[in-house]
Amino acid sequence: MNVPLLDLKAQYQTIREEIRKVVDEICDSQYFILGPHVEAMEAKIAAYCQTPHAVGVSSGSDALIIALMAAGIGAGDAVITTPYTFFATAGAVARVGARPLFVDIDPVSYNLDPGALENTVAAMDNGTRAAVKAILPVHLYGQCADMDPILDMARRHNWVVIEDAAQAIGAEYKGRRAGSMGDFGCFSFFPSKNLGAFGDGGVVTTTSAEMDQRLRMLRMHGMEPKYYHRMIGGNFRLDALQAAVVALKLDYLDGWTSGRQANAAAYRRLFQEAGLVQQVQLPVEVQNRHIYNQFVIRVTHDRDALRAWLGEQGIGTEVYYPVPLHQQECFNYLGHGDGDFPLSEQAATQSLALPIYPELSEAQLAAVVERIGAFYKA
Ligand SMILES: *Cc1c(COP(=O)(O)O)cnc(C)c1O
């Protein structure tokens, strides 16, 4: 049985007519950049994320860059983050001229470990400690990082808190939504995210009216009023088409999230019934609203052989992420070596994402588990 990692066509079929109607409307209007569809999307996202403000931008990567710019982070500054994430998290820090300062993950949640954070800060020299201006936790795979100790540390040290919530729209931490806890929340509408556009797009949420204004200015080259530039921004604008698709899809998001959660529950039952819970460690729900952008299992050996075998059987999987950021060539200048962040390095060799999209059938889920069982029998 064929089980792709993700099947966006299945979702599109359910909303095809509605989407085509709004796309047609925008084509007729010939109004393509920012404007009423972007404003409407921003209001809906702000309400959904339980934040006062949301600003549509060109991608999730740009959401991170523009949040850092709005916070005034730049050359000479350091930003604490995790090495076990998509490249853009630390890439954005470097792009604004600041230095990423990595802290290892908690191996159960895969998110930045508050204990390791305490130790890292305690071991810093005064110069480094003074350079740290922000912390950028990631809510990886759809589950929030342990935010209370992170927010507490940030308050004590006067750091800006920027949540990388690209994989976590609608996820919750103690009843609070991803993107509503820090000063900024950064979201991506890349098509493979839980709320995907028909191209690139993103949004920044913020609790501050002042930052909302700065973000709006920065996304248009720092321009206010027209052709007067008070700061150097960039072109971080969002298309009306993308905003309209996202706004429309948002009405379905909770239903799709329930579908992902139901699939995760089905996997748990199927792995249990197959007697595979020794060989395969299942994801742990540490926080109470995990939105399962990914369902990531962990195997202690032969991960790559398992992945190759599943591929031969028509089952799509992915490794998020094979190389932690401190081991990326472009970050050689940070001076890290193998073993610096051992829990991230171990996760990189052991983790494997299985198909979890909401339209999967019970038979497909069963086939994935059955094929994994067959691999371990062989
Ligand atoms: C997808 C993603 C991004 C970047 O979003 P784009 O829209 O692809 O630029 C940033 N951080 C994380 C954790 C992501 O998963």
The reply to whether ligand 1 has any atom less than 6 angstroms from the CB of 164 is: yes
193 is a catalytic site residue: yes
Question: Domain ends where: 231, 249, 267?
Answer: 249
Residues 6+ apart with CB under 8 A from 132: 77, 78, 79, 80, 101, 121, 124, 157, 159
CA dihedral over 86, 88, 93, 97, signed as positive or negative: positive
Question: Domain ends where: 179, 214, 249?
Answer: 249
Partnered with residue 359 across adjacent β-strands are: none
Total domains present in the chain: 2
Residue 378: the pLDDT is 82
Relative to beta strand 295-298, strand 99-102 is unpaired
* Angstrom distances, CA of residue 247 to CA of 125, 250, 282, 319: 47, 5, 33, 30
Q: Are residues 154 and 284 in the same domain?
A: no
Report which residue type is found at 25.
Answer: E
Q: Are residues 97 and 236 in the same domain?
A: yes
> What are the residue ranges of helices labelled H in the chain?
8-29, 36-49, 60-70, 88-95, 114-123, 126-131, 147-157, 209-218, 240-273, 303-312, 342-350, 362-377
Relative to beta strand 132-136, strand 78-81 is parallel
* Angstrom distances, CA of residue 23 to CA of 26, 153, 213, 262: 5, 46, 29, 32
CA of 61 to the centre of ligand 1 (A): 6
Q: Would you say 88 and 38 are in contact if contact means Cβ atoms under 8 Å apart?
A: no
**Neighbouring C-beta atoms of residue 179, cutoff 10 Å:** 34
Joined tokens for residue 260: 């992902």
Which CATH number fits the domain that encloses residue 294?
A: 3.90.1150.10
Question: Domain ends where: 207, 225, 249?
Answer: 249
CA of 140 to the centre of ligand 1 (A): 10
Q: Which domain holds residue 150?
A: 8-103+110-249
Q: Are residues 322 and 360 in the same domain?
A: yes
Q: Are residues 47 and 137 in the same domain?
A: yes
Query: Per the residue annotation, which of 9, 193, 226, 377 is the catalytic one?
Result: 193
Q: Are residues 304 and 259 in the same domain?
A: yes
Instruction: State the Cα–Cα distance between residues 113 and 332, nearest whole angstrom.
Output: 23
Tracing tokens 């390791």 back to the chain, one arrives at: 116
The reply to whether ligand 1 has any atom less than 6 angstroms from the CB of 96 is: no
Q: Would you say 145 and 91 are in contact if contact means Cβ atoms under 8 Å apart?
A: no
User: Is 3 a member of any domain?
Assistant: no
Q: Are residues 317 and 337 in the same domain?
A: yes
Packing angle, helices 362-377 and 303-312, rounded to 10: 130
Residue 262: the pLDDT is 98
Residue 44: the pLDDT is 98
Q: Mean pLDDT for each 10-residue chunk of the chain (378 residues)?
A: 96 97 97 97 98 98 98 98 98 98 98 98 96 98 98 98 98 98 98 98 98 98 94 97 98 98 98 95 96 97 96 97 98 97 98 98 98 93
Phi-psi region of 30 (alpha: psi -120 to 50; beta: other; left: phi over 0): left
Partnered with residue 126 across adjacent β-strands are: none
Peptide bond into 4 cis (omega under 30): no
User: Is 198 a member of any domain?
Assistant: yes
Compute the C-alpha angle 342/73/345, nearest 5°. Answer: 10
CA of 160 to the centre of ligand 1 (A): 20
Burial of 140: CB neighbours in 10 Å, binned 0-12, 13-18, 19+? buried
Residue 355: the pLDDT is 98
The reply to whether ligand 1 has any atom less than 6 angstroms from the CB of 85 is: yes
The reply to whether ligand 1 has any atom less than 6 angstroms from the CB of 202 is: yes
Relative to beta strand 176-177, strand 172-173 is antiparallel
Residue 15: the pLDDT is 98
